[in-house]
Chain A
Amino acid sequence: MIRLSIPVRQALARLTLPVLIVVAFGLMLLGKVDAVVAERARMTLADVMSPIYGVFAGPTERLHEFGESVSRLFTLASDNARLREENEQLRKWQAIALALDAENASLKANLRWIPDPAPSYVTARAVADAGGVYARAVLVAVGPNHGITRGQIVLDASGLVGRVTEVGARSVRVLLITDINSRVPVVLENSRARAIAMGTNGPRPRLAYWPSGTPPVEGERVVTSAEAGAFPAGLPVGSVHYNAQKVPEIEPTAHLDRLDVVRIFDYGLTVPLPPEAGLARPVDSRSRK
């Protein structure tokens, strides 16, 4: 080891902090110029951590379920009455749905309708929040050789969750539809009017750019649109809800605040990729509208 005189050593020690601060600024610029390096470092760390987080996820989930089951004990009687009533109504709806399903099938048979090919999907567990303070995203643990690519669509049991934005060897990061950078082309189901669901980092994405004359109606169902080819048509996103400022928002059908098991679908779509993705994927000729 080199022996330095005490003044030199003190001067060096005093220099460390300013130099490191300059390096921090350099890192910020580097992260801005070359997002791939930062992304790769993140996903490597995420790949290492996701199995460990997967171990955590089970017990915390069970703990939460226990807490909820205790709190549910107190509302058991009223819940039961409500469910009985709801069941009665659903039975009526089921009869209608079955009749419509049969009618639909016969009409499609008459029209020689070509059904959409069934998309392939993988089911995986959302293991950790990957959003930080200023973003909304989750980390999903997937096995090695998963074949998931950027832009694939993520759904939970009830609705649209988001899209895959970063892919690692054992984990993928999913940007939620509530993230401030998320834009989802949607269709208002009653009027068939197109609009955009804009994330705000809040719990409900905002609706924007609907055609004049067809304002969103409170409670109206909102589904994805195949416009721009980023999403397949008809995935449930949520229902319209006007907030206190009279701005239409979407109450997501997916349980975005407590994601557990999600499905990652490969619809074979071409996706408008962000610039840091490097080479654009060739245009898919089977692109479905």
Chain B
Amino acid sequence: MNERTPGIRPRPSLGRRLDIAFRVSFPAVSTALALLFTAAPLRLPGQSELQGALALGMVFFWSLHRPESMPPLAVFALGLLADLLDFGPVGVQVLVLLIAHGLAFSWRLALPRHGFVGVWMAFLAVAVGAAALQWGLTALLAWQILPAAPALFQATLSAGLYPLLALPLARAQATLAEPDQA
């Protein structure tokens, strides 16, 4: 429902417009907050891998299910934030997240028809590709062979975390991030 469709709708008061703006920006803002939160000293084992896994999962989910709230520019900004926060070479996570976004965006019509398991399988491939790409680019930019174990761990963590992540995100999609509920 947008301004062009005919119908009766509430007056666009300031509160209502703020409400809609919050709901539209919820996916990008919550992902940025998740990045900042996982950069905090929580002393979790594998915290930097967790940061990458969260960013990838959230960008993939919103690009697939609500792409108008996760535009390429937002993905770019999130990737840059992730790169700056984890002191990796700048641009690597930007590229990884943009590619994940592009894939999810092009699959947005066909993929959800295969049910959650289908989406998860697709994300599994994306997670493996993302970890491999990040490992390769980081090694290339540092011009040295890096141990591959962290990349493997990151791919596994991303893939395993996705169902746990998708559950609250799907709820948020229907409630917090739904502009029609404003």
Contact = CB atoms under 8 A, between A and B. Distances in A.
B95 A56 contact: no
Nearest to A29: B91
B59 to A, nearest CB: 13
A127 B41 contact: yes
Given A128-B40, A129-B41, 12 more contacts: A28-B141, A31-B141, A38-B90, A53-B39, A133-B48, A133-B86, A134-B88, A134-B146, A137-B87, A180-B146, A180-B147, A258-B43
Nearest to B52: A133
18 contacts: A16-B71, A21-B98, A28-B89, A32-B89, A38-B90, A41-B84, A49-B36, A52-B40, A56-B41, A60-B41, A64-B43, A126-B41, A129-B39, A133-B49, A133-B52, A133-B154, A134-B142, A135-B88
B79 A17 contact: no
Interface residues of A, number: 42
A71 to B, nearest CB: 15
Interface string A75-112: 00000000000000000000000000000000000000
Nearest to B37: A56
Contacts of B91: 24-28, 30-31
A28 B154 contact: no
A142 B59 CA distance: 34
Contact of A132 (B40, B48, B76): B48
Nearest to B139: A134
B89 A31 contact: yes
A132 B86 contact: yes
- Give the dominant DSSP class at B's interface: helix
Interface string B36-77: 100111110001110010000000000000000001110110
A247 interface: no
A214 to B, nearest CB: 29
Given A28-B92, A56-B40, A20 B85 contact: no
Contact of B147 (A28, A137, A201): A201
Nearest to A125: B41
B40 A32 contact: no
Contacts of B102: 17, 21
A273 interface: no
B101 interface: yes
Contacts of B87: 42, 130-132, 135, 137, 173
Interface string B79-120: 110001111111110110011011001000000000000000
Contacts of B25: none
Interface residues of B, number: 46
B160 interface: no
B76 A24 contact: yes
B39 A24 contact: no
Contacts of A173: 87
B137 interface: yes
Nearest to A26: B91
Contacts of B42: 56, 60
A103 to B, nearest CB: 44
Interface of B: 36, 39-43, 47-49, 52, 71-73, 75-76, 79-80, 84-92, 94-95, 98-99, 101-102, 105, 134-135, 137-139, 141-142, 144, 146-147, 150-151, 154
Q: Sorted from nearest, which 4 A-B pairs have the closest CB atoms?
A: A132-B86, A27-B91, A28-B91, A31-B90
Contacts of A201: 146-147, 150
Contacts of B84: 41-42, 45
A201 to B, nearest CB: 6
Contacts of B95: 21, 24-25, 28
Contacts of B76: 20, 23-24
Contacts of A24: 76, 79, 91, 94-95, 98
A57 interface: yes
A123 interface: no
A253 interface: no
B141 A32 contact: yes
Contacts of B41: 53, 56-57, 60, 126-129
B99 A134 contact: no
A28 B137 CA distance: 9
Contacts of A137: 87
Contacts of B48: 129, 131-133
